[in-house]
Amino acid sequence: MYSRIINGQEYTFGVSGKLIRNVLVMYDRETNSFWSQLLGEAVEGPLTGTRLEYLPSVMTTWEAWRAMHPDTIALEKGFFGPRDPYAGYYLSEDAGVIGSTYFDDRLGTKEFVIGVEHLGDAVAYPFSVLNDQPAINHTVGGLPVLVVFERSSGTGVVWERTLPDGQVLEFVSQRGTVLRDLQTGTLWNGLTGQAVEGSLAGQTLVPVKSTQSFWFGWVDFHPDTRLYGFED
């Protein structure tokens, strides 16, 4: 998710119908520049090289979201009817519409990963590993990160482990996504990043930009990616 404000001006976006390595390409109606959904960057047109401001978001189930935000409102897209016709695509090993640019057999083509990139260092965290590790303390491009995963809903979020005062925390799972940091013993809600009990209660971790993607989609943009649980 990105902000539509660029240099103080509000822009509107549409779907171009184009793909770059199987990833959606948007266009803005003000300059007709083309934008990569995954990169959040204009790749063609007057705004080429301009980056959109990242806004924290999470991919989850409606049930899990309502549990965290009971007063939420939802956008009704107007889709009705069975979704079975789409099941074949997700169950197959086909690499999108135009095939993959880079082939990497460390994972299956359509295994889900959470991808994080920082200062040129890219790391993919496979769901198959996250299923057994609800909290992972790691470092990407020198940035200490915390990857939190809720198996039942497939919800994954990534946070900075460094507090505003410079202290770096290390987390363990107390109970699922209820975490405890080893430095102060504070309890945290891993999905919201909020400290709920202890000396740090009231503080909130800073979100890190992350992408939930098929393995082939992540590798196409990050062919030199590290794969957590396989190399670290």
> pLDDT digit string (tens) for 67-82?
888 999 888 776 666 6
Model confidence at 31, pLDDT cuts 50, 70, 90, reads very high
CA distance 194 to 1: 21
CA distance 93 to 95: 6
Say which residue, 61 or 27, is predicted with more confidence: 27
Domain range for 12 is 5-44
Question: Does residue 182 contact residue 172 with C-beta atoms inside 8 Å?
Answer: yes
In a domain, 36, yes or no: yes
In a domain, 67, yes or no: no
CA distance 123 to 113: 9
The CATH number linked to 126 is 2.102.10.10
The least confident of 64-68, 100-104, 143-147 is 100-104
In this structure, the answer to whether residues 120 and 219 fall within a common structural domain is yes
Domain total of the chain: 2
In a domain, 125, yes or no: yes
In a domain, 12, yes or no: yes
Question: Does residue 106 contact residue 227 with C-beta atoms inside 8 Å?
Answer: yes
Model confidence at 230, pLDDT cuts 50, 70, 90, reads confident
- Give the CA distances from residue 4 to residues 16, 80, 154, in Å, rounded to whole numbers and listed in that order: 17, 29, 28
Residue 143's DSSP bridge partners are 140
In a domain, 100, yes or no: no
> pLDDT digit string (tens) for 84-139?
555 555 566 666 656 567 788 899 998 999 999 999 999 999 999 999 999 999 99
